Amino acid sequence: MDQQSLLLSIESFLDVNPLENFKTLFANLDASHLDIYPSTGRKPFSRQSLLRSIIFKNLKGFPTLTELVTELKDNPSAAIRCGFNILKPLPSMERFSSFLKNMPNRALQKILILLIHNLIHLDIITGEYLSIDSCPILAHVKENNLKTIVKNRFSKTRIPKGSPDARLGIMVIYPTPNKKKIHYFWGFRDHVVIDAKEELPIWQITKPADVVHESLMFIPVFKLIQDEFHLKIKAVMGDGIYDTSAILKYIIKDLKAKPRISRNPRNTRNPSTLQFSKNGNPICLAQLEMLNRGSFYDKKQNGWRRKWVCPLHHSKKYVKQFIVCPALHPKFFSQKGCYVYIRIDQDIRSEIDYGSTSFKTDIKLRSGSERVFSRLLNICMQNPPVIGFNAISNYVTIAHITVLLVALTAAKNNMKDKIRFIKSFLPNFNP
């Protein structure tokens, strides 16, 4: 008796949902290279089947691998659609955990890239408007559960025993519409570049949550994207963390695109807000002429800046006249007075049309990133049922594969208006 006759028998007599739509979905998934990787120990299950099962889990909304294993055992049709032989034992939860832990992430990235190429070929992804953002991935550790009592819960000097690869990160929450609050967590971050028009991911990587210099990833990431996909980018959106001269120059000069990056006031200080003396030195809040302390090349800003310092701390002339700062500036007491940095070469920002209708229209596309993350979180991406950096990286990558696979299936079946219907597409799909 072959699997096909067995499938018909089970579905006919036990009235099991044949899940025909998953057959159409998995027909667009090329993962044959996964079974080429060597394995040790017990005879392995097909890694293609394990991957299909996790995608099945995502679309069905099962939060844990235990529930996935139970579903495969209780629904033989689902097991067959995932590629398993139900006449033999099905994989245990440990087999799925081992797959996520040991599979090289580059193997899953290969699948992701192929899906994106297919979507580009179908003119679904154009890459004209790209947006870069990141999403927190919380580790399953007691430190993240505020109902537990943990000493030094968010101390950088300690590593959670439950997830040794997790690192301390921050995320911004809004308890009320006009109030921002910083929240600490242990875990990772999923860094993503999306096609802002179609709201589909075209690149992703998972990093520990303590990666503070996200801006340093920008140029290498976009070079990889361009080397792989050769997109005709019109504009790039991002928040203020990417507001550096190096990034802005790269977007304008190399990508030939419009930078739509939110201005970071810490990186730019408009000299027009300062008063200057006849000698060209800025005037501090106490109406004193500040002292020049030389120029230096700021690698982050990719330009030359000059520093002026408090005259009360650095000039004997003013020390004799004033006991304390006339303006009672707090930095006079906490450090050696206030200081000012002013850029002395031409700022690349002068070439950007801040405030224009075009700028405002383009930067609104950034909101697409939030909707992309919302769909990814809807398939349990933020609650990985595994521990370990590689396992979590693979789990997050599979979430992205799930999103792109649904989009590709919808596009190939002339349902382009349904490419973002992640969990509702298959139940309403009639092939």
The model's pLDDT over 402-415, given as tens digits with 9 standing for 90+, comes to 999 999 999 999 98
Percentage of the chain modeled with pLDDT above 90: 41
Residues sharing a CB contact under 8 Å with residue 127, sequence separation 6 or more, in sequence order: 120, 195, 202, 225, 229, 231, 232, 233
Helix ranges (DSSP H) in 149-303: 215-229, 245-249
Which residues of the chain are in CATH 3.30.420 domains? 124-265+357-389
pLDDT at 175 exceeding the cut of 80: no
Please compute the mean of the pLDDT values over residues 334-361 and round it to a whole number. Answer: 82
Residues sharing a CB contact under 8 Å with residue 109, sequence separation 6 or more, in sequence order: 397
Please compute the mean of the pLDDT values over residues 26-30 and round it to a whole number. Answer: 93
Q: Among 6-10, 53-57, 181-185, 191-195, which stretch is predicted with the lowest mean pLDDT?
A: 6-10
Residues sharing a CB contact under 8 Å with residue 197, sequence separation 6 or more, in sequence order: 126, 128, 129, 365, 368
Please compute the mean of the pLDDT values over residues 162-172 and round it to a whole number. Answer: 88
Supply the DSSP symbol for 89: P
Chain centre distance of CA 202: 11
Q: Which is nearest to 46 in space by CA: 36, 61, 60, 56?
A: 36
Query: Which residue type sits at 99?
Result: F
> Six-digit token pair at 96?
């799925």
d(CA 262, CA 359): 10
pLDDT at 22 exceeding the cut of 50: yes
Supply the DSSP symbol for 44: P
Residues sharing a CB contact under 8 Å with residue 426, sequence separation 6 or more, in sequence order: 21, 22, 25, 59, 406
Helical (H) or strand (E) element with 331: helix 330-334
Domain 124-265+357-389: assigned CATH number: 3.30.420
d(CA 263, CA 140): 35
pLDDT at 270 exceeding the cut of 70: no
Reading phi first (left if > 0) and then psi (alpha if -120 to 50, else beta), residue 83 is in left
The pLDDT value given to residue 378: 82
Helical (H) or strand (E) element with 275: strand 275-276
CA torsion through residues 168, 150, 390, 100, sign: negative
43-56-31 Cα angle (round to 5): 55
Q: Among 159-163, 296-300, 343-347, which stretch is predicted with the lowest mean pLDDT?
A: 343-347
The pLDDT value given to residue 18: 52
> Six-digit token pair at 421?
């219907």
Q: Work out the pLDDT band at 180, boundaries 50, 70, 90.
A: confident
Q: Among 49-58, 114-123, 232-241, 292-301, which stretch is predicted with the lowest mean pLDDT?
A: 292-301
The pLDDT value given to residue 16: 44
pTM, entire model: 0.81
Helix, strand, coil share of the chain (percent; to 5):
40, 20, 40
pLDDT in tens, 285-301: 888 888 888 888 877 66
Q: 265 or 129: which carries more pLDDT confidence?
A: 129
pLDDT in tens, 35-72: 887 666 577 889 999 999 999 999 998 999 999 999 99
The pLDDT value given to residue 338: 87
